[in-house]
Chains A and B, each alone.
Chain A
Amino acid sequence: MLELFADLVLMPLIAFLFGLVLVLMARRVRAKIERRVGPPVLQPIYDIVKLYAKKTQISHGLMHDVSIMMLLGGFITAEIFLPVPGLDGLAAEGDLVTLVYIMMVPMLGLALGVGSCANPNGSIGISRALTSMLAYDVPFVVVIAGALIHYGSSNLIDVVRIQQEGGVSTWGVTTMPLLAFAGLIAMHGMLGKEPFELYIAPAEIATGPMVEMSGKYMGALFVMQCFQFYTVGVLYVTMFLGGGEMWLTFLPKVAAVIFISVAITNVFGRYKTEDVIRWMWRWPTAIGLVGLAFVMLKVN
C-alpha cells in the first residue's frame, strides 16, 4: 500500500514540476522565435506564486470555487492513471478510454465555473472550447480506436509493454505511422495552441474563459496549463513512442512532442471556429481512417 501511496503523491508532483519545465520551454521557444531573450528560468513559478499570493480573491459564487477544485482534482486523477517509468499508479484499474473521459472532467468543471462568472466573454469562450473539443476529438477517437485494436488491449501498462518488447521497431509510431501523425495533429488541437486557439482569443473575447479569473483562480489555471502539457505529452508518448522505460529517455520524448506543437503554434494566426471544425474533420480524420484501415487489414 505504501508504494501505491507514494505513487498517488509522486505522480501529480512530477507532473506539475515537469509541467513547469514544459511551460518554460514553450515561453522560451516563443521568445526565441520573436528574437527576444525570453523569461527567466523560474518565471512560471513566480507567476503562480504571485497569483496565489494575491491579497484579494474575487469569486462569483460557490460554483466558481468548486470548478477550481474540479479542475485540479480532475488533472491529479488523470496523472494517477498515466503510467510513467517506475510508477504504475492505478493504470491497471482504469484503461485508456477511462483516462480520456477523466480528462474531460476538468474541462467540464472549468466550463461550469466560467459559466457561473456570468460574463458573456467567458460563455462564448466555453462554447468555442467545446466546439473545438468536438472538432479535435473526432480524429482523436479514430486514432484511439486504431491503436487499441492494434495493441489488442486498452490497459496502458500492456500498451507500453507491447511497444517495448521489440525496441523501436514495435513502437506505435513505426507500426502505425499514419495514426501517429493524425494523433499528433489531434494532440495539437487538444492543447488549444495557435491555429486552434479559438477559445483564449485575447483580441476577440478577452481571453475567453479566463476573463473573470483572478488571483488563485488564475493561478489554478496556470497550474492546469502545466498539467495539460504534461498529460497530453505523456499520453502521446505512451501510445506511440514506446512509453517510459526509464526517466532519462522518457522526459526528453515528452519534451520533444510538446516542442513540436509549441514550435508550430507561434507561426500561425487563429482559425475561425467553423474552419477549425472543417479542417479537423477533413485532414487528420482522413489520415487517421487510412491508418485505421491498415490496422484492420493486419488484425483480420
Chain B
Amino acid sequence: MIGLLDTLLVLALLTTVGLYVFGANRFAGYIGMAAYAAMTVIVVLVGQTLSGGETAVPSAMAFTVLGYPMTWRIDGLGWFFALLTTGAGFFAAWYMSGEWNEAQPNKRIQHGTLALNVLAMLLLVSSGDFLSLFIGWEIVSWAAFAMMTQLGGPAATAALRYLLYALAGAMALFAGILIVRSATGSFAFEDFAAAVPNLPTATKWVLFVLFTAGFGVKMAIVPFHLWQAPAYSFTPGASSSFLNAVSARMGLFALTLVLIKLMGPALLAGMDIAYTWFDARSALLWLTAITMIVPTYIALMQTDARMLLAWHGIGQGGYMLLGILVGTPLGLAGGLLHTFNYATYQMALMLAVFAVVHRTKTADLDELGGLITRMPFTYITLLMGIIGLAGLPPMNGFVSKWMIYKSLLNTAQPLLLIAAFIGTLGTILSVYKLIHNIFLGQLRLEHREVKEAPLSMLLPMLTLAGIGFVTGWMPGLALSMVDIAQSALGIGLQPHHLGGVDLPNGSLNMLWVVGVLIAAIGVGALIFYFLGNRRWEVSQYDNYAGGHFLSADVRYHFSHEFYPGLARVIGPWYRGWVVKMERGLQTLVAVLGDLSGGVFRFAHTPFYLLVAVSLGLLWVGLFGKI
C-alpha cells in the first residue's frame, strides 16, 4: 500500500497544480480548504503511527544521483511542523475562499503559490538526509520568493532583498553539508550524528557556524533579521499570515534537527570559546536573547500594523529558539509548544489586521481609531490574539512562555530570564498600541459606515482565536503533540497532564488558573450588573474635554507616537548598526564590481598578456625551483 507520506506529498503536488489552474474560479478557496483539510487528516494519521511506537514513516521516493543517495521519511519533529504547515494552509485557504478573494488582483498566483509553499515545506520536513534537506530548503526559499513578489513595487524589492539573504544562507548550508560529507563520507543523518563527537573542534565550529547562519537567516535571528518584516508585510493578506505563522519556523525545524537532534546540546555546551565564559550554546542563547528584545522594541516604534506584527514574529522566534536551546526537556517542550501557540495567535492577528485593511483600505495606525463599534468580532479576534502574543493567562501564549521561564529558573540562568521578561514587556506595550490605535479611541468621520468583515473572513479568525483559547485552557492537548516531536529528539519527554505541568518546585495547572479567572470575571459581572443602577450608553462626543463642546469636525483622539516618554529614553539607542552593516556590504560589492569592470576596460588584452607572461616567468624563475 502506498505509504502515508507519499499520499501526502502527491496530494500536495496535485493541489499545487490544481489550484494554479483553477485559481481563478470562485470555488478555488473551497477546493484549497478541502485539500489542506485532507492533508491535515493524513498528517494526523501519520501522527498516530508515530505515537504508536514507529520512529519514522518512510517514503517510497528515493534517488541516487552521481553516487549520492537521497531518501525522504518523516519523524516526530518533521510531523509536528508538517501539522503546523497544513493547518496554516487550511486557514489561509479558508480566509481566501470568501469575499476577500474577489478584491485580489491575481487569484491564480495566490492560490498556486500558497499550495506550492505547503508542498515545499512538506518536502523539507520529510527530508531523510542532508542532501534532501538542502533540496527541500532551496525549494522552500524559492516558493516563499514567488509568494512575496506577487504585488510588485515595494513587494518586489523586499522579495529580492529576502532572496539574497536566503541564497547567502543556502550557500552557507551548501558548504556545511559538503563539509559533513567530506568529514563523514555520506549525507545521512545517522552517520553524522555518530561521527560528530570525535570530529576535530575546528570542523565542529565551522559546521556549527555554517548551520546556525544558514538556518538562522530563515529564522531571522538578529544579524540576519532585516529582510523579514517588509517581505512579510507586503505580501497579500492570507499568504502574508501564512508566511508569518509558519514560514520562518522552517528555520527552527532545521536548527532543532541539526543542533539538538544530531549534535545534541551537551556537545554544543562542550565547545568552549577561549578566554570567555561562553560556549557555543550560551553564545547562541545570548544571540536569541538579543533577538527577543531588539525586534520587539523596533516593533514598538512601527506605525504600520502589518510591520508591527511582522517585527514581533522575529522577536517570538527568539523565544522558541531560547526554549529549545536550554536543553532540558521542560525548555524543549516550552520552545516547541511556543511554536504551535505562536502559529495560532500570530495567524489570527494577521488575518484580523488584514480584515481591517480590507474594510478601511489602510493599515496605517495613525489613520484608524474607534473601530470597535463597527467591527466588534474582528476586535475580539485581535484582543484574544494580542493576549496570546503578550503571553497573558487565559491564552495559550502564556503556557509556553511560563515553561520557558521555568526551565530558565531551574537551570539557574537569571540574566536570560530577565532578557525574556524585558521582551515580554515590550510586546505588551506594542500590542496595546496596536489594538488601541485601530479599535479604541474616537471613531473617524470617514469610518462611520465601515461594515464588519464578511463571515468568510470572520470564521477562520475566530476559530484560530478559539484554538488559542482552548489550548490555553487545556494545554495538555497541545503538549501531547509536542511529545511526539520531542520523542524524535532523544532528549527525553516532559511529563504533563491536561492542565499543564507538575514540577516539584512550582507547577502550573491552567485548568485552575483559567477556570478561576473566568469564574472571578463572572463574579465581577454579577457585581457589575446587580450592585448599581442600569448602565446608560452615551455617544463618543459626550466626553469630558475641560468644558469644551466636542464635535465631529475636531479629532479628539491620541494615537500618533503612542509612547513619547519611552521614545525619548530609548530613541537614541536605535543606531541601526545592522542596517549600516548591510549597506556597507552592498557598497563593498559595488566597489569590487567597479574595480573588476575597470580592469576589463583599462587596457587592451595584449598589454595584460605581456604583463602576465613577464610576471609568470619571474615567478617561475624565483619560486619554481623550491
Residues on A facing B (Cβ under 8 Å): 8, 12, 52-63, 65, 68-74, 76-77, 80-81, 90, 92-98, 101-102, 104-105, 108, 111-112, 115-121, 123-124, 126-128, 130-131, 133-134, 137-138, 141-142, 145-146, 148-149, 152-155, 158, 206, 211-212, 215-216, 219-220, 272-274, 276-278, 292, 295-296, 299-300
Q: Which of B406, B436, B534, B563 contacts A154 (CB 8 A)?
A: B406
Chain B residues lying within 8 Å of A278, measured Cβ to Cβ, are: 569
Closest 5 CB pairs of A and B: A273-B565, A115-B440, A73-B521, A153-B505, A154-B506
Q: Give the total of B residues in contact with A, Cβ under 8 Å.
A: 82
- Assess A272 versus B535: contact at CB under 8 Å? Given A77-B517, A300-B412: no
Sample (8) of A-B pairs whose CB atoms are under 8 Å apart: A61-B372, A73-B520, A73-B522, A81-B513, A90-B516, A116-B372, A127-B563, A219-B532
Query: Do A72 and B532 touch (CB < 8 A)?
Result: no
- A contact residues around B406 at 8 Å (CB): 95, 97, 154
Nearest CB in chain A to that of B441: its residue? A118
Indicate whether B396 reaches chain A with its CB closer than 8 angstroms: no
Q: Are A145 and B414 in contact (CB under 8 A)?
A: yes
B440 cross-chain contacts in A, Cβ below 8 A: 63, 112, 115-116, 118, 123
- The reply to whether the CB of B391 lies closer than 8 angstroms to some CB of chain A is yes
Instruction: Kindly list chain B residues whose C-beta atoms are within 8 Å of the C-beta of A215.
Output: 532-533
Q: Which residues does chain A contribute within 8 Å of B524, judged by CB atoms?
A: 68-73, 76, 220
The reply to whether the CB of B544 lies closer than 8 angstroms to some CB of chain A is yes
Given the interface pairs A63-B372, A111-B432, the reply to whether A57 lies near B536 with Cβ below 8 Å is yes
Evaluate whether A134 and B426 lie within 8 angstroms (CB atoms) in the complex, with A93-B512, A141-B418 already known: yes
Give B416 Cβ to nearest chain A Cβ, in Å: 9
B392 within 8 A of A: yes
In the complex, B242 has a CB within 8 A of chain A: no
State the CA gap A101–B545 with chains docked (Å). Answer: 34
Interface 0/1 of B25-69, CB less than 8 Å to A: 000000000000000000000000000000000000000000000
Given contacts A57-B535, A96-B506, contact A123 B558 (CB under 8 A): yes
Beta-carbon contact of A137 and B521 below 8 Å: no
**Cβ–Cβ < 8 Å partners of B421 in chain A:** 137-138, 141
Q: A97-B406, A101-B393, A130-B432 are in contact. Are A56 and B536 (CB under 8 A)?
A: yes
* B528 / chain A contacts, CB cutoff of 8 Å: 65, 68-69, 72, 216, 220
CB of A273 within 8 A of CB of B533, answer no
Q: Which of A70, A292, A299 has the most CB of B within 10 A?
A: A70
Q: Are A95 and B537 in contact (CB under 8 A)?
A: no
The digit string for B370-391, where 1 denotes a CB below 8 A from any CB of A, is 1011001001000100010011
Contact B566 A292 (CB under 8 A): no
Question: Which of A76, A133, A219 neighbours the largest number of chain B CB atoms within 10 Å of its CB?
Answer: A76
How far is B559's CA from A112's CA once the two chains are assembled, in angstroms?
14
B509, CB-defined interface residue at 8 Å = yes
Among candidates B405, B418, B545, residue contacting A142 with C-beta atoms closer than 8 Å: B418
- Check if A128 sits within 8 Å of B505, measured CB to CB: no
> Separation in Å of the B564 CB from the closest CB of chain A?
7
Q: A73-B524, A123-B559 are in contact. Are A94 and B414 (CB under 8 A)?
A: no
Contact call A52/B532, Cβ cutoff below 8 A? yes
B189 within 8 Å of A by Cβ? Answer: no
- In contact, B543 and A119 (Cβ under 8 angstroms): yes
Contact A69 B509 (CB under 8 A): no
A50 and B373 alpha carbons, distance in the complex (Å): 31
Q: Which residue of A lies closest to B526 (CB)?
A: A69
- How many Å lie between the Cα of A93 and that of B512 in the bound state? 7
Cβ B543 vs Cβ A118 within 8 A:
yes
Interface flag for B290 (CB, 8 Å): no
Residue pair B568, A274 in contact (C-beta under 8 Å):
yes
Interchain nearest-CB distance for B551 vs A (Å): 14
A211: chain B residues within 8 A (beta carbon): 544
Given contacts A57-B534, A274-B565, A292-B414, contact A137 B516 (CB under 8 A): no
Which of A61, A101, A146, A153 contacts B391 (CB under 8 A)? A101
Contact call A94/B534, Cβ cutoff below 8 A: no
Most chain B beta-carbon contacts within 10 A, residue among A58, A73, A133, A272:
A73
Residues of chain A within 8 A of B429, CB atoms compared: 130-131, 134
A71 / chain B contacts, CB cutoff of 8 Å: 524
Q: Could you say which residues of chain A place their CB within 8 Å of the CB of B527?
A: 72, 220
